[in-house]
Structure 1
Amino acid sequence: MSSDTSFDPPKPEAVIFDIGNVLITWTPEVHYDRWIGPDRRRAMFAAVDLHGMNERFDRGEPFRAVVEETAARHPEWREEILMWHDRWLDLTLPVIDHSVRLLRALRQAGHPVFALTNFGVDSFALSESRDRFLTEFDRRYISGHLGVTKPDPSIYQMVEEDCGIAPDRLLFTDDRVDNIAIAKDRGWQTHLFKHPQGWADTLVEAGLLAREQAV
């Protein structure tokens, strides 16, 4: 059993995936380094709270409007800030293929699979237009639709109340320690995602997939 995973009986009845850095790589700095160079990127990220901007539409504000408002407040970085919206699909690459295979293997094995993600309404719609696996979850809990983001405990409560599954029968993976900590506090089984092979091993250890299904 891996050290970042905790299992107690009973066997999980549903598996919950975060999306950013679990199914889709989320490293905006890497892309901006390529687009405008590392020095300009560092200067821009120091001057503009771009991750704070992103959190606003993750909570349900309109994607384009938030980015344009931010660009208007920082005219010296206007064109670069607008890239956050205009090049969104480039910003959310690459897809983590092994994780996608695990999602599909779980569903093929008959296990309910949910998404619990901080994602805007409009930005998620853009992403699922390309990444069709985002349509394959049995249930999707998108922060922009719910009006609250992880790690606020209320979003975890919403999941529990909607799906009707006891907390100790939910297995959740996320790449952020703070998001995992709240889930664990609520009694969820958890896995801190670092790489897809570790997640695959956890699913095998939990009895949800055979080793040959988890490749």
Structure 2
Amino acid sequence: MINAVIFDIGNVLIEWQPERFYDSAIGEERRKAMFAAVDLHGMNDKVDMGAPFKETIYDAAEAYPDWRDEIRMWHDHWIEMASPTIDHSVKILRALRAKDMPVYALSNFGIDSFAYAETVYPYLGEFDRRYISGHMEVIKPDPKIYQMVEDDCGHAPGTLLFADDRKDNIDMALSRGWKAHLFDGPQGWADCLIAHGLLTKEEAAA
């Protein structure tokens, strides 16, 4: 029995492809050179753990003056990296809620960047509970964040069904007894929910 369905956000509800953005902004060759020189995903992890959004990125930009303008784009053009919406996933979220299934978010996301995203993507306010790493000061796949979700929601691990696009995050959920789906597109997630008897084929359709 599933008591709650948990969505990751990046690459489940909203596409998150910084490399794609930079390829279009500065070209693939220069993007590859920058990502080789600067640990941009490590910088973003700090934001996701609760560090200030703009300050953290601008500090990194000053530490790498050859890439200052490009690194600042991570903040200044952030919403262009976090787009577009995966519409079928939003429809699935709403179909679950229409059937009174509790739906939660569990996402590595900064405090300020999430607040910004809410102004652009109103469906981020439609979850019954939201577990946002910046506020929790811990990121997936650290087991602590899963424990915090379990303690707060009050449901047994085996009654939670979680979708995430990263295998390490899914593996940790499975190791705790959660049911989980490695997201590689909304149709597969729809099929998973149908298989669990949570939605009909019609309710899960794009």
Both structures adopt the same fold (TM-score exceeding 0.5): yes
Structure 2 partner of 1:74: 64
Pairwise CA RMSD of aligned residues?
0.6
Structure 2 partner of 1:51: 41
Distance 2:71 2:118 in 1: 22
TM-score by length of structure 2 reads: 0.98
Structure 1 residue 105 displacement after superposition: 0.6
Distance 2:35 2:89 in 1: 29
Are residues 1:38 and 2:35 paired? Answer: no
> What is the count of residue pairs matched by the alignment?
205
| AA of the residue aligned to 1:194 | D
Which blocks of at least 5 consecutive residues in structure 2 are unaligned? none
Structure 2 partner of 1:105: 95
Distance 1:168 1:52 in 2: 32
Are residues 1:21 and 2:11 paired? Answer: yes
Structure 1 partner of 2:171: 181
Structure 1 partner of 2:180: 190
Higher relative contact order (CA 8 A, sep 6+): 1
2:131 partner SS: strand
Query: C-alpha deviations, 1:109-134, integer Å up to 9, x for none?
Result: 11000000000000111111100111
Query: C-alpha deviations, 1:77-101, integer Å up to 9, x for none?
Result: 1111111001111111111110010
Q: How does 1:44-193 map to 2 (within 5 A)?
A: 44-193=34-183
Moved beyond 2 Å, runs of 4+: none
Query: C-alpha deviations, 1:39-75, integer Å up to 9, x for none?
Result: 1111111111100000001000000010010000011
| AA of the residue aligned to 1:187 | G
Distance 1:136 1:83 in 2: 29
TM-score by length of structure 1 reads: 0.94
Distance 1:128 1:103 in 2: 16
